[in-house]
A = this chain, B = another copy of it.
């Protein structure tokens, strides 16, 4: 048995990257049934919604699948910072004629907790992956006891070594090209973030666990290159964003198909943590990385009304347009077809 099939149980060495907010079990089921590892992103789901999704996985596929959780430390809300962030955004509220007090509180993203561990024990996903480090030891032990293979993302060699020391089953080397949230958890300095080509070989040399490459991989050549670098498998997200099974919004789909989709940046404006998005008006005007937004996960609340208004007018000016640095693999075709195509191009 190859190293990836021992780890993931799949036909192909590919994980469909969990992408909270733009996909649910429909995409994961399609990928798992096609021979990859479909992932259910749980970060933005309530426990009830997770149960619905996990039930859908159980009935939708007999093959391995992955449940993904965030495991950040949840900070106390900072009233002063929230107020100054809203003040910074006030000109946009005024421009759209939206009352300044109409923004909801920042959208919650709960870190992995006992209720989620209960669900893992009940539904027993083949793989459980974490973002932003690992949960506390007792929670991690509960996951391990289910027999799930445990993965987490490293964005630096230091993070990879730290994860390896916890004895997890695989390490996702997340190059800076990757779309969405950086998994960084030992540093908040984005200048430490390097590319997949630079990161993967250095992590492979530094850890015992098998390494999965993520970031900038969009086609069969990219997959082959990652394997040559020493990865046993790859994690691919962006390429799936146009699939009909994804829940990618209309403005996001449109943005991905413009030439400007090649123009991404790390930004903390939408959630408080650095994540890669196609550059849009808010990022250009405020600057993609700012000290103004409240800490993760609270930054998004104040943007919500602006985003809703702009999206209703067909514009993604205030939307997180998550994408990696290589959108050339995006195809508006069924996810099963795309998964097979990734290995035959």
Contacts and interface: CB of A to CB of B under 8 A. Distances in A.
Interface in A217-275: 217-219, 221-222, 224-226, 228-230, 262-265
Interface stretch (A12-20, A77-85, A90-98, A190-198): A190-198
Contacts of A221: 201, 228-230
A219 B201 contact: yes
B191 A176 contact: no
Given A228-B228, A262-B156, A196 B194 contact: no
A288 interface: yes
Contacts of A175: 195, 197
A326 B216 contact: no
Contacts of A225: 197, 225-226, 228-229
A198 B325 contact: yes
A195 B177 contact: yes
A61 interface: no
Given A202-B328, A262-B156, A279 B195 contact: no
A203 to B, nearest CB: 10
A322 to B, nearest CB: 15
A328 B195 contact: no
Nearest to A189: B263
Interface string A85-105: 000000000000000000000
A222 B201 contact: yes
Interface residues of A, number: 39
Contact of A216 (B156, B195, B205): B195
Nearest to A197: B216
Interface in A122-175: 156-157, 175
A64 interface: no
A305 interface: no
Contact of A201 (B156, B218, B229): B218
A216 B194 contact: yes
30 contacts: A156-B262, A175-B197, A176-B195, A177-B195, A177-B197, A189-B263, A191-B263, A191-B265, A191-B279, A192-B262, A194-B264, A194-B325, A194-B326, A195-B196, A195-B215, A195-B216, A196-B197, A197-B216, A197-B217, A197-B222, A198-B325, A201-B218, A201-B219, A201-B326, A202-B326, A202-B328, A221-B228, A221-B229, A222-B229, A225-B228
7 A-B pairs closest in CB distance: A198-B326, A195-B195, A225-B225, A198-B216, A197-B216, A194-B325, A198-B325
